[in-house]
Amino acid sequence: MKMDLNFKFSIALLGGLCLSFDAVAQEDEPLDVAHLEPLSIIGSREDLFSTTGSGYVIDHDLIQTHGYADINQALKQVPGVYLRTEDGHGLFPNISLRGVDPSRMSKLTYMEDGILAAPSSYSAPSAYYTPTVGRMIGLEVLKGSSQIQHGPHTTGGVINYLSTPIPHHKSSYLRFSYGTENDTRLHLWTGDRVDSSAGEFGYLVETYYRETDGFKSIDSTAGFDGSSRGTGFQNHDSMLKLSWSPKTENRQYFELKTGYMDKNADETYLGLSTTDFLKNRNRRYAASRDDNIDTQHFRNYLRYSVALSDNASLSATAYYNAFNRNWYKLKEIKDIDSDGDGFIDSTPTVLLYQALAGIDDNKPLEVLQGIRAGQYEYRNNNRGYIAKGVQATLNVDFDAGETVHHLLVGTRFHQDQVRRFQDDVQYFQDSSGAITSTVSDGPGSGGNRLQESEATALFIEDTIRLGRFSIIPGLRYERIDYRYIDFENNGDNIPTGDASRTLDIFAPGIGFSYQSDESSNLFAGIYRGFSVPGPRSASRPGRQLDEETSISFETGIRFDNSKGIYAELVGFNTHLDDLATIDNIATGTSNPQNIGEARSRGVEAIFGWDLTAKGTFEFKAPISVSATYTDATFKSNSTDVNAESIFAGAVIGNAFPYVPEWQLNLAANLEFDTFRLSANLNYTDSTFGSGSNSMQELDPSGSPDARFGLIESQFIVDLSVNYFINEHAEAFVNVTNLLDEQSLAGRLTDGPRPNAPRQASIGMGLRF
């Protein structure tokens, strides 16, 4: 595609603004280099206090205290965040902010160091890749009316992963742990900044490794090739950062980051029947023994920042990410031995969630269990993703009469794509569960197409301060060019269909803030949000999806007396139009669609208290309590009861699936000079697995479907003990799910699945 004129205009605009400040840049005192590393979207906790939207900063200490390597565990303390486990390890997160669809994080914007991190945020946003939490120094969660700066999914909010920065002096870090199910973790980095006549040079080398056997067991562990199979995974994630700050009059900063992740997991879409789940929640059926996903991710950026003057700075980043994955997994049952004579008969195709729900007198289920002869199909879900672009932000501070302005102008030109080249493989099983043969349907037989997007985004936001009062108007504009091409399924890559479409989206917003004193801040906002469809959904003739849009209101108050007490109380109300279903929910074949209106409203609260903060105690005892109440309901009826979506069967007044009414979290620490005891208690209300709010495993047409039904409530306790040997070394013991409470935590992708059981680890951390 040719570069869009809007993008040329946006670059020219930023360039003109830069030139307009160049004259004063040579005369004013330059900014400190620390202000030229725009990795975060919030900044410090002090910056958070004055924002006009609800947000939360999770620092490195919180992540490491409990040894969290699962994004679901790390986010439990944040109000307004809804989590659905899929694999128990957080390999494929399903996260909702403010009640939007949680499926594979496809309805929120997530980034690493301010750069889009989804494999293809526009073409295929589902989170088959997410940054490794275990190597992060922090997480930022931004909700509400501060979404103007970030897209392309702005209704719910933003999650930004913060990678390890280059240290300001020679430093090294080593953390090692070993635990349940041979869970082995190693995190190591070293870095420095060195002065020279040419300026300051910096470097960071980092590696993170985790391996576990997994907590589930397969009925038969021998795959068709005779190799031993498990339910664990390996994850190796390495990164290199290089920086240069030349000795120029106006401070400049260059940073190059490159990283590579290789992950291999014996993970499946297949759940259990409810009967088998109640007997052994950690069981996996024999038919899933060959399921495996193998992924590789390359991430790169080159960032440049310059202090144009005392009051202006510019940051520009070019980035290139590539992601490849092949999820070889069970897809459906083709034929079964219906009369029990040991020979496979011809029967209609049975989808996995139908088999788990007991269709056809449990005969298909017996094929999955390996006790009945049958034929089932595996699919090589082989896909390659590319995401690349350039983004730039100009920051300007200036006075205008009695008001003080902080102006942000930003642009991003982004291209991404997903290339599917999949094939189906037929497995033939005898009545003992042994695989007698396999037959491939050939390259391209399981999907052969290209989806690509080109997006130009512009935003402008002005923070206008008049004494204690601030008003922040803003506007985001995105122009998206979609295209998809279908190819022959015989592997010849001969196009059979080609469609394209352009979307223009405007998203205005305005926020208000009033700081009544040094301890209190009141804020409110209203903004228009959106979530964009993919190329195929948006472009198919006669079945084009529109973007999902929303109007959101929020208001709240923050309090922090700097004496150990802080609190935040926020009310929100979001009205969604053209609610869109997404691809890749499960193994069905229905098409995505716009299904109507919905509303999500609620209250988020957090209260922190440290009685010992200003006392003469020889210990600290901080506690933090957070709570979320949510009323998320449909305001129109689903137009298709058989939609391949968690919204299937929705009628006016039904509750949103996987959005619990109540969530509560209590975090408490007892800290001495050399010892710390930390506990985290989390409660999540029960919810439904679909928009139909069915208590039974039946879809809206009455057919058996294990994705429908109740999701049980959870109460999870995590405990950690740290012993600080000296200022450079610590030993720790971490226990997650201390009470070993496992529940039916999710029904996607195909049937009931549990959260992880109790897991413990012991280890050491060294900093030198």
Q: Check pLDDT > 80 for residue 113.
A: yes
Per-residue pLDDT tens over the stretch 652-670: 999 999 999 999 999 999 9
Q: Check pLDDT > 90 for residue 24.
A: no
The answer to whether 701 and 659 are in contact (CB under 8 A) is no
Three-state DSSP at 499 gives strand
Query: Bridge-partner residues for 501, per DSSP?
Result: 482
Q: Please tell me the distance from the alpha carbon of residue 197 to that of residue 199, in angstroms, as a whole number.
A: 6
Q: What pLDDT was estimated at residue 627?
A: 98
Q: Check pLDDT > 90 for residue 7.
A: no
Q: Range with the lowest mean pLDDT among 43-52, 200-209, 618-627?
A: 43-52
Query: Bridge-partner residues for 670, per DSSP?
Result: 677
Q: Range with the lowest mean pLDDT among 218-227, 499-508, 554-563?
A: 218-227
pLDDT category of residue 19 using cuts at 50, 70 and 90: very low
The Cβ of residue 573 has, within 10 Å, a number of other Cβ atoms equal to 16
Q: What pLDDT was estimated at residue 146?
A: 59
Per-residue pLDDT tens over the stretch 233-260: 999 999 999 999 999 988 999 999 999 9
The answer to whether 266 and 288 are in contact (CB under 8 A) is no
Q: Please report, as a single letter, which amino acid is at residue 181.
A: E
Is 282 within the bounds of a domain?
Answer: yes
- Which helix or strand (DSSP H or E) is residue 366 part of? helix 363-369
Is 100 within the bounds of a domain?
Answer: no
The answer to whether 708 and 687 are in contact (CB under 8 A) is no
Q: Please tell me the distance from the alpha carbon of residue 274 to that of residue 301, in angstroms, as a whole number.
A: 47
C-alpha distances (whole Å) from 410 to each of 19, 319, 446, 460 are 16, 16, 41, 6
Is 8 within the bounds of a domain?
Answer: no
Per-residue pLDDT tens over the stretch 663-711: 999 999 999 999 999 999 999 999 999 999 999 999 888 889 999 999 9
The answer to whether 37 and 433 are in contact (CB under 8 A) is no
Q: What pLDDT was estimated at residue 640?
A: 56
Q: 765 exposed, middle or buried (CB, 10 Å; 0-12, 13-18, 19+)?
A: buried
Three-state DSSP at 361 gives helix
Host domain of residue 588: 171-767
The answer to whether 410 and 497 are in contact (CB under 8 A) is no
pLDDT category of residue 50 using cuts at 50, 70 and 90: confident
Please report, rounded to a whole number, the percentage of residues in the chain having pLDDT higher than 70: 92
pLDDT category of residue 544 using cuts at 50, 70 and 90: confident
Per-residue pLDDT tens over the stretch 143-188: 876 578 999 999 888 999 999 999 999 999 999 999 999 999 999 9
Q: Check pLDDT > 90 for residue 442.
A: yes
Q: Please tell me the distance from the alpha carbon of residue 536 to that of residue 520, in angstroms, as a whole number.
A: 48
Which has the closest alpha carbon to 122: 412, 454, 344, 345?
Answer: 454
Is 407 within the bounds of a domain?
Answer: yes
Q: What pLDDT was estimated at residue 618?
A: 86
Query: Bridge-partner residues for 323, per DSSP?
Result: 297, 385
The answer to whether 383 and 377 are in contact (CB under 8 A) is no
Which has the closest alpha carbon to 522: 465, 601, 469?
Answer: 469
Is 430 within the bounds of a domain?
Answer: yes
Q: Please tell me the distance from the alpha carbon of residue 342 to that of residue 731, in angstroms, as a whole number.
A: 58
User: What CATH number should be reported for the domain holding residue 650?
Assistant: 2.40.170.20
* Secondary-structure breakdown of the chain: helix, strand, coil percentages, each rounded to the nearest 5: 10, 50, 35
Per-residue pLDDT tens over the stretch 490-511: 888 899 989 999 999 999 999 9
Mean pLDDT, all residues of the chain: 90
Give the dihedral of Cα atoms 643, 645, 648, 653; nearest 10 deg.
Answer: -140
Is 724 within the bounds of a domain?
Answer: yes
Is 468 within the bounds of a domain?
Answer: yes
Please state the rounded mean pLDDT for residues 346-361.
93
- Number of independent structural domains in the chain: 1
The answer to whether 258 and 245 are in contact (CB under 8 A) is no
Is 371 within the bounds of a domain?
Answer: yes
Q: Please tell me the distance from the alpha carbon of residue 214 to that of residue 756, in angstroms, as a whole number.
A: 9
Q: What pLDDT was estimated at residue 516?
A: 86
pLDDT category of residue 643 using cuts at 50, 70 and 90: low
Q: Please tell me the distance from the alpha carbon of residue 26 to that of residue 135, in angstroms, as a whole number.
A: 39
The pTM of this model reads 0.93
Q: What pLDDT was estimated at residue 359?
A: 95
**Beta strand pairing status for 136-143 and 157-163?**
antiparallel
Which tokens sit at 680?
């985290």
Q: Please tell me the distance from the alpha carbon of residue 410 to that of residue 412, in angstroms, as a whole number.
A: 7
